[in-house]
């Protein structure tokens, strides 16, 4: 895999194989893609006249991607860079060892970009680690995807999520939101419910916030230009969060068809994160495996229903959670979407266009004027999404 960090002062001429329109779900014929100042300047078809750059004197970089399919980059709507997905206790110990932590997170970021995932939204950690590494990538000190950081998650004291965020309100909700702005948060993560049980089917930790509190959080966040991602499992938590006007529902295990209709109606996106549950199928305990299998089957059926109802689905892995590796976990999640019965075209749209929209990025469609964030893969992902596991080039339109 070759990572190309686009130089704003160079012009790029890419000979491409089929270009995939992630919205229409079809190929555009082979041609040439021109990049100037980090943006797509033109896409021409074979046999058409060439494009004239605005600054023709600049150095030109020619790349032959004629044997590859070109599409917008993959987006992971839910990760935890502070955790490694292998050993929770070891990851927690690393938080107190800056050198080890830096090595580990650099590795995770590299694994992420190597899989063609060029933007991730982090669900928060108590120490603001994702924020720290977001800045390092942005300043060009580290290779990695664009990171949208939540800093720490909002949670009620003495409830689920102590590693994700500090308990509120130690201070008022308004002071907390101002603190997040001051620290540089890209969005607000709020933990509305506990986690799903691996031992008892359908059981989820209790709801933490009242409808009133959630409405205040959403208002405070939106008036500060931040979106709200809500960790919500159980139908009750999803309905509560959706009615309060959050922007995305994370996890959403055991949500009802009625809740999906509400999400569709309000334009609230759903990030179903199946792989952190499916990964527990490795558990030696038979009862756990039975519960996990049923939980996964239900979630896949609801993904299918969500797609049919027109709910905006984002792809999120919860990478860093037990059993979910950064980068590789994304391919597992895509395969679960395939098992849910979504077509390759639909899966590609969820992974690229919808992800970009959820993160507030002007990516997800390759057309003149948009940032030249793109990947090139071997094979035809519209025929088989397995091709997304064979990323040969990734183009980053920011420094990194």
List interacting residues with Zn ion (CB under 5 A). Answer: 123, 318
Residue number of the CB closest to Zn ion reads 123
Q: Which residue number, 318 or 335, has a Cβ lying nearer to Zn ion?
A: 318
Smallest distance from the beta carbon of 82 to Zn ion, in angstroms? 11
Smallest distance from the beta carbon of 155 to Zn ion, in angstroms? 12
By the 8 A CB rule, do 113 and 143 touch? yes
Q: Which residue number, 77 or 226, has a Cβ lying nearer to Zn ion?
A: 77
Smallest distance from the beta carbon of 318 to Zn ion, in angstroms? 5
Smallest distance from the beta carbon of 161 to Zn ion, in angstroms? 9
* Cβ-proximal residues to 4 (8 Å cutoff; 6+ apart), any chain: 63, 393, 394, 395, 396
Smallest distance from the beta carbon of 275 to Zn ion, in angstroms? 12
| Phi and psi at residue 371, to the nearest 5° | -55, 145
Q: Which residue number, 303 or 391, has a Cβ lying nearer to Zn ion?
A: 303
Residue 372, exposed/middle/buried by CB under 10 A (0-12, 13-18, 19+)?
buried
Q: 321: which DSSP letter?
A: B
Identify which of 32, 38, 72 has the alpha carbon closest to the alpha carbon of residue 52. 32
Q: Which residue number, 247 or 318, has a Cβ lying nearer to Zn ion?
A: 318
Map residue 28 onto helix, strand or coil: strand
Smallest distance from the beta carbon of 129 to Zn ion, in angstroms? 14
Q: Which residue number, 21 or 318, has a Cβ lying nearer to Zn ion?
A: 318
Q: Which residues of 277-307 are buried (b: 16+ CB within 10 A; e: fewer)?
A: bbbbeebeeeebeebbeebbebbbebbebbb
Q: Which residue number, 276 or 389, has a Cβ lying nearer to Zn ion?
A: 276
Q: How far apart are CA 107 and CA 105, in angstroms?
A: 5
């Amino acid at each position: 895999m070759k990572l190309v960090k686009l130089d704003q002062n160079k012009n790029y001429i890419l000979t491409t194989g089929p270009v995939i329109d992630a919205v229409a779900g079809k190929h555009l014929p082979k041609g040439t893609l021109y990049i100037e100042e980090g943006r797509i300047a033109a896409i021409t078809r074979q046999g058409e006249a060439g494009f004239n750059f605005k600054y023709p004197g600049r150095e030109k970089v020619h790349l032959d991607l004629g044997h590859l399919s070109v599409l917008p980059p993959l987006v992971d709507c839910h990760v935890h860079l502070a955790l490694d997905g292998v050993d929770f206790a070891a990851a927690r110990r690393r938080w107190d060892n800056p050198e080890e932590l830096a090595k580990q997170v650099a590795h995770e970021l590299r694994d992420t970009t190597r899989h063609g995932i060029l933007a991730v939204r982090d669900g928060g950690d108590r120490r603001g680690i994702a924020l720290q590494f977001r800045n390092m990538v942005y300043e060009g000190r580290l290779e990695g995807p664009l990171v949208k950081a939540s800093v720490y998650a909002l949670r009620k004291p003495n409830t689920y999520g102590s590693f994700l965020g500090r308990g509120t309100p130690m201070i008022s909700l308004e002071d907390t939101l101002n603190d997040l702005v001051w620290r540089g948060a890209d969005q607000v993560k709020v933990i509305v419910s506990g986690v799903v049980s691996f031992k008892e089917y359908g059981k989820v930790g209790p709801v933490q916030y009242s409808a009133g509190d959630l409405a205040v959080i959403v208002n405070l966040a939106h008036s500060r230009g931040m979106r709200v991602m809500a960790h919500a499992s159980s139908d009750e938590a999803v309905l509560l969060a959706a009615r309060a006007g959050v922007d995305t529902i994370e996890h959403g295990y055991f949500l009802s068809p009625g809740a999906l209709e509400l999400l569709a109606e309000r334009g609230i996106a759903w990030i179903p994160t199946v792989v952190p549950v499916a990964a527990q199928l490795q558990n030696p305990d038979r009862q756990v495996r039975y519960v996990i299998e049923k939980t996964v089957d239900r979630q896949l059926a609801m993904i299918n229903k969500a797609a049919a109802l027109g709910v905006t689905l984002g792809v999120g892995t919860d990478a860093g959670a037990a059993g979910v590796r950064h980068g590789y976990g994304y391919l597992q999640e895509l395969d679960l979407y395939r098992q849910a019965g979504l077509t390759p075209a639909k899966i590609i749209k969820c992974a690229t266009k919808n992800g970009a929209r959820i993160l507030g990025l002007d990516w997800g469609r390759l057309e003149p004027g948009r940032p030249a964030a793109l990947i090139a893969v071997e094979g035809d992902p519209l025929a088989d999404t397995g091709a997304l596991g064979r990323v040969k080039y990734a183009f980053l339109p920011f420094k990194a």
